[in-house]
Amino acid sequence: MDRNKIYPWYFTGGAVFIYSLLCFIPGVLGILYSFTDWNNFSREINFVGLKNYISVFSGHSEYMSFIGNTLLFTIATTILKTVAGFCIALLLTQKFIKFKNFHRMVIFSPQVMSYLVVGLVFRSMLHPTTGFVNNFLKSIGLERLALNWLTDLKLVFPSVITVDVWKGMGYIMVVIIAGLVSISSAYYEAADIDGASFWQKTKSITIPLLKPVIINVIILNVTYGLRVFDMIYSLTNGGPGNATGVINTAVYKEFSKGNLAMGTTLSSILFFFILALLYFILRSMDHKEMET
Amino acid sequence: MYGTKKKIKHFFANCISVIMSILILTPLFVLIINSFKSSGEANSMSLTLPKVWMVENYKTVIEQGKLVTSFLNGFLYAVCSVSIIVTVVSAAAFVIGRNRRGVNRFLYFFIISGIAMPINTVALMKVMQLLQLMNTRLGIILIYAATNIPLSLFLSYGFVDTIPREIDEAAVIDGCNSFQLFRRVILPLFKPILSTLFVLNFMTVWNDFMMPLYYLNNSKKWPMTLAVYNFFGVFENSWNLVSADIILTLLPVLILFILGQKYIVSGVSAGSVKG
C-alpha cells in the first residue's frame, strides 16, 4: 500500500500552519529586528548592525545582571528541584510509608496552580509585618528569624528560589516515580540476596538505571529556568531594584517602555542560548550511545 | 534489636512524608481561613479561626473583582484553544506517527523544537498587528493553540505506536479513504491521549498570565489570572478579600485536578520518561 496516499501530508497542515505563523515566524522576525532600532516612538526602522548586542554585552550594563540572575536562578532551581524530587520520589515509593498516594497527590498539587497565584500567595505569606510566616515565627518565639524575605537584598533571591522549588518539586517527583516504577524488581531482589544495604542499592542500581530520566528532568528544569517569567513577575516584579530581574522580565520592561528592538534582542539572546544548550546536550547523549 | 531499629527508621520516614505534605498544605489552609475573616482579623495572617465566618467576602469579591466576566473569558480561551489543539494535533500525530520518513520527520522535529524554545513576544506582537489580531479574543486563542502544539504533538506521537498498523490496513481494504480511516477508526482509539491533552492544555491555558499581559489591554477581555493580579494591586491591604479571590481562581483547576488526576499524571510521566 502507498503510505503517502493513506497518510496524506496535508493532515499535518493545521498544526504546522498555526505553529509556524505564531511561533516560528516571530522567532525569525525577532532575530531580524534585533539588528534594527525598532521602537514605539518613530515610524522609521533603521538597520544598526550589532549595536543592540554590543550594548547588552558591554561591560557592566544592567542587562548583564539580568543574564547573570537568569543563570543563577536556573542552576539553583535545577539542582534543588532535581535533588528534592528524587529524594521525595524515593521516600514515597517505599513500602512502609502510609498514605503514599495521598502524599503524592498533595506534593504534586502546587503544579496545577498558576505561577501567578503561587506568586501572590507567597507575596502575602512572606509580607514582613502581616504575613503568615513572620507571624508564625514570632508566635513560637523566634523573633530574630522574622525577616524581610522579599525586600532584603540578600534574602530575596533565596526566597524566590525556595518558592519555585516548593511549586516545582512535585512535578519532578511524579516523573521520577514513573522512572522508578519501571525498574525491574529483579535487580533489587538479587541485591537483597547479596545483602546490599539501602544506600548501596540506591547508588548501584537506582541511580544508574534512572540516568535517562534524570537527564530529561534536568533538560526540563533548565529550559524552564531560563524562560522563567510569571513566578518572578508576580513575586517581586524583578525588585527590589533589579535584584531579581531575569531576561524575560527585562523583555517585558523594554516592551512596555517601547524599546522594542532591545526587547527582541534579549529574546533572541535567550533563543541562541537555549539552542546552543540543547545542541550540546543532544550531542553528548549521542556520544554516549555510541560508546555503549 | 534489629526490628526496633527498623521500626524507628520507618516511623521517621513516615514523619518526613507527613511534614512534606503539611509544608505544601499550610499556605492553602491559611488562605481558606483568611478568606472567611473580617478585614480587621485578617490584618495579620495566622492560623487562628475567624470569630465570625464571613461568607460575604466571596460575594464582595465576585462583584468588585468582575470575576464573572473574567471567569467566562478564561473558560472561553481554554475551551477554544484546547479544541483547536486537539483537532490539529491528533491529525498531525496520526500522519507523522505512521509515516516517519522524509518531510514528516523534518516537520516533527520542527514542531517539537518549540517545547524548549522561548517565544519572541515582541516580534509576535508585530505579527499579531499585521494579522489584525492584537487585543482580540481570537488572537489570544490562536496564540495559546500555537504555543501548546509542540508538547501535545510530542505526547500523542508516542501514543500512535500503541495502535496496531493492521487496523489501518483492514480499514483500507474495506474501502475507507484516509479521512474516514482517521475519523471512524483512529480517533475513537485516540481517546485516552485526547483526554490527557485536554486536561493538561486546559490547565496550562487557564493558568497562563503572560499572553494576556502582552496582548490584551482591555480589562473586559481579561481571563481570571490577570483579573486576580489587578485585584491584588487594588486591594493589597485586605488579605481576606485577596484570599477569597485567589481561592476562587484556584477552584476550577483543583476540581479538574482531582477529577482528571489519572490523565495528568500519565501525561506528565509519559512526556518526560519516553523523551
Task: ipTM value, please give it.
Answer: 0.86
- Is the Cβ–Cβ distance between B120 and A264 less than 8 Å? yes
User: Would you state the pLDDT for residue A59?
Assistant: 67
Give me chain B's average pLDDT, please: 87
Side chain identity, residue A116: L
User: Are residue B130 and residue B174 in the same domain, yes or no?
Assistant: yes
Pseudo-torsion of CA A199, A200, A203, A206, nearest 10°? -90
Residue B121, in any domain of the structure = yes
Instruction: Give A117's contacts in chain B (Cβ within 8 Å).
Output: 207, 225, 228, 246, 249-250
User: Are residue B175 and residue B200 in the same domain, yes or no?
Assistant: yes
Lowest mean pLDDT, pick from A61-65, B75-79, B141-145? A61-65
Contacts of A15 (CB under 8 A, 6+ apart): B88, B89, B91, B92, B111, B149, B153
- Is the Cβ–Cβ distance between B253 and B228 less than 8 Å? no
- For the stretch B26-72, pLDDT in tens is 988 888 888 888 877 776 677 777 777 878 888 888 888 778 888 99
User: Are residue B44 and residue B83 in the same domain, yes or no?
Assistant: no
How many Cβ contacts (< 8 angstroms) between chains A and B?
273
**Cα distances (Å, whole numbers) of residue A5 to A2, B99, B104, B181, B217:** 5, 10, 14, 12, 47
CATH number at residue B217: 1.10.3720.10
Q: Would you call B45 and A135 a contact, using CB atoms and an 8 Å cutoff?
A: yes
**Cα(A166)–Cα(A161) distance, integer angstroms:** 9
Asked if A238 has any chain B CB less than 8 Å from its own CB, the reply is no
Asked if A14 has any chain B CB less than 8 Å from its own CB, the reply is yes
Q: How many domains does chain B have?
A: 2
What is the C-alpha R_g of chain B?
A: 24
Q: Is the pLDDT of residue B243 over 70?
A: yes
Residue B267, in any domain of the structure = no
pLDDT band, very low/low/confident/very high, at B161 (cuts 50, 70, 90):
confident
- For the stretch A218-236, pLDDT in tens is 888 998 899 999 899 988 8
Q: Would you call B273 and A110 a contact, using CB atoms and an 8 Å cutoff?
A: no
Q: Would you call B209 and A5 a contact, using CB atoms and an 8 Å cutoff?
A: no
User: Would you state the pLDDT for residue A288?
Assistant: 58
Residue B90, in any domain of the structure = yes
Residue B127, in any domain of the structure = yes
Lowest mean pLDDT, pick from A48-57, B36-45, B165-174, B253-262? B36-45
User: Are residue B15 and residue B77 in the same domain, yes or no?
Assistant: no
pLDDT band, very low/low/confident/very high, at B1 (cuts 50, 70, 90):
low
pLDDT band, very low/low/confident/very high, at A49 (cuts 50, 70, 90):
confident
In 3D space, the residue among A188, A206, A184, A186 whose CA is nearest the CA of residue A196 turns out to be: A188
In 3D space, the residue among A251, A254, A222 whose CA is nearest the CA of residue A72 turns out to be: A222
Residue B109, in any domain of the structure = yes
Contacts of A202 (CB under 8 A, 6+ apart): A90
User: Would you state the pLDDT for residue A60?
Assistant: 65
Rounded average pLDDT over B108-127: 88
Rounded average pLDDT over B155-161: 86
- Is the Cβ–Cβ distance between B111 and A16 less than 8 Å? yes
Residue B266, in any domain of the structure = no
Q: Would you call B31 and A121 a contact, using CB atoms and an 8 Å cutoff?
A: yes
**One-letter-per-residue 3-state SS of B181-243:** HHHHHHHHHCHHHHHHHHHHHHHHHHHCCHHHHHHCCCHHHCCHHHHHHHHHHHCCCCHHHHH
Residue B247, in any domain of the structure = no
User: Are residue B130 and residue B196 in the same domain, yes or no?
Assistant: yes
In 3D space, the residue among B133, B148, B141, B121 whose CA is nearest the CA of residue B73 turns out to be: B141
pLDDT band, very low/low/confident/very high, at B2 (cuts 50, 70, 90):
low
User: Would you state the pLDDT for residue A286?
Assistant: 65
Q: Which of the listed ranges A33-47, B138-152, B250-264 does the model predict with the highest average pLDDT?
A: B138-152
User: Are residue B161 and residue B41 in the same domain, yes or no?
Assistant: no
User: Are residue B16 and residue B120 in the same domain, yes or no?
Assistant: no
User: Are residue B112 and residue B203 in the same domain, yes or no?
Assistant: yes
Rounded average pLDDT over B221-242: 86
pLDDT band, very low/low/confident/very high, at A161 (cuts 50, 70, 90):
very high
Q: Would you call B121 and A97 a contact, using CB atoms and an 8 Å cutoff?
A: no
pLDDT band, very low/low/confident/very high, at A291 (cuts 50, 70, 90):
very low
Q: Would you call A234 and B254 a contact, using CB atoms and an 8 Å cutoff?
A: no
pLDDT band, very low/low/confident/very high, at B272 (cuts 50, 70, 90):
low
- Which of A15, A248, A264 is facing B149, going by the closest CB pair? A15
Q: Is the pLDDT of residue B154 over 80?
A: yes
Closest chain A CA to residue B268: A175
pLDDT band, very low/low/confident/very high, at A88 (cuts 50, 70, 90):
very high
Distance from CA of A145 to the nearest CA of B (A): 17
Asked if A180 has any chain B CB less than 8 Å from its own CB, the reply is no
pLDDT band, very low/low/confident/very high, at A287 (cuts 50, 70, 90):
low
Q: Is the pLDDT of residue B80 over 90?
A: yes
- Residues counted in chain B: 275
User: Would you state the pLDDT for residue A132?
Assistant: 84
User: Are residue B31 and residue B124 in the same domain, yes or no?
Assistant: no
User: Are residue B21 and residue B106 in the same domain, yes or no?
Assistant: no
Lowest mean pLDDT, pick from A75-84, A240-249, B262-271? B262-271
Portion 97-116 of A in contact with B at CB < 8 A: 97-100, 102-103, 105-110, 112-116
Asked if B17 has any chain A CB less than 8 Å from its own CB, the reply is yes
Asked if B235 has any chain A CB less than 8 Å from its own CB, the reply is no
- What is the full DSSP assignment across B13-69? HHHHHHHHHHHHHHHHHHHHHHHTS-TTGGGS--SSPPSS--THHHHHHHHHTTHHH
User: Are residue B16 and residue B77 in the same domain, yes or no?
Assistant: no
- Which of A12, A123, A248 is facing B92, going by the closest CB pair? A12
Instruction: Give A135's contacts in chain B (Cβ within 8 Å).
Output: 44-46
Count CB atoms within 10 A of the CB of residue B28: 18
- Is the Cβ–Cβ distance between A255 and A39 less than 8 Å? no
Closest chain B CA to residue A261: B122
pLDDT band, very low/low/confident/very high, at A18 (cuts 50, 70, 90):
very high
Q: Is the pLDDT of residue A258 over 80?
A: yes
Q: Would you call A117 and B207 a contact, using CB atoms and an 8 Å cutoff?
A: yes
Contacts of B49 (CB under 8 A, 6+ apart): B33
**Cα distances (Å, whole numbers) of residue A183 to A176, A186, A187, B267:** 11, 9, 8, 19
pLDDT band, very low/low/confident/very high, at B205 (cuts 50, 70, 90):
very high
Residue B6, in any domain of the structure = yes
User: Would you state the pLDDT for residue B88?
Assistant: 95
Look up residue B57 and give its three cell numbers.
467576602
**Cα(A93)–Cα(A101) distance, integer angstroms:** 10
Instruction: Give A248's contacts in chain B (Cβ within 8 Å).
Output: 118
- Identify the domain containing residue B139 by its residue range: 66-234
- Which of A8, A102, A112 is facing B254, going by the closest CB pair? A112
Q: Would you call A109 and B24 a contact, using CB atoms and an 8 Å cutoff?
A: yes
Asked if A126 has any chain B CB less than 8 Å from its own CB, the reply is no
**Cα(A228)–Cα(A252) distance, integer angstroms:** 12
**Cα(A131)–Cα(A128) distance, integer angstroms:** 6
More confident site: B131 or B64: B131
Asked if B43 has any chain A CB less than 8 Å from its own CB, the reply is yes
User: Would you state the pLDDT for residue A167?
Assistant: 92
Interface with B, mutate which of A66, A101, A132 (most B CBs under 10 A): A132
Give me chain A's average pLDDT, please: 87
Pseudo-torsion of CA B52, B57, B59, B65, nearest 10°? 180
Q: Could you give the domains of chain A? A: 34-291 (1.10.3720.10)
Instruction: Give A227's contacts in chain B (Cβ within 8 Å).
Output: 118
Q: Would you call A33 and B122 a contact, using CB atoms and an 8 Å cutoff?
A: yes
Q: Is the pLDDT of residue B275 over 70?
A: no
- For the stretch A200-224, pLDDT in tens is 988 889 999 988 888 888 888 998 8
Look up residue B272 and give its three cell numbers.
518526560
**Cα(A249)–Cα(A246) distance, integer angstroms:** 5
pLDDT band, very low/low/confident/very high, at A1 (cuts 50, 70, 90):
low
User: Would you state the pLDDT for residue B78?
Assistant: 94
User: Are residue B111 and residue B179 in the same domain, yes or no?
Assistant: yes
- Residue A22: DSSP 8-state: I
In 3D space, the residue among B94, B97, B102 whose CA is nearest the CA of residue B180 turns out to be: B94
Asked if B134 has any chain A CB less than 8 Å from its own CB, the reply is no
Look up residue B267 and give its three cell numbers.
501525561
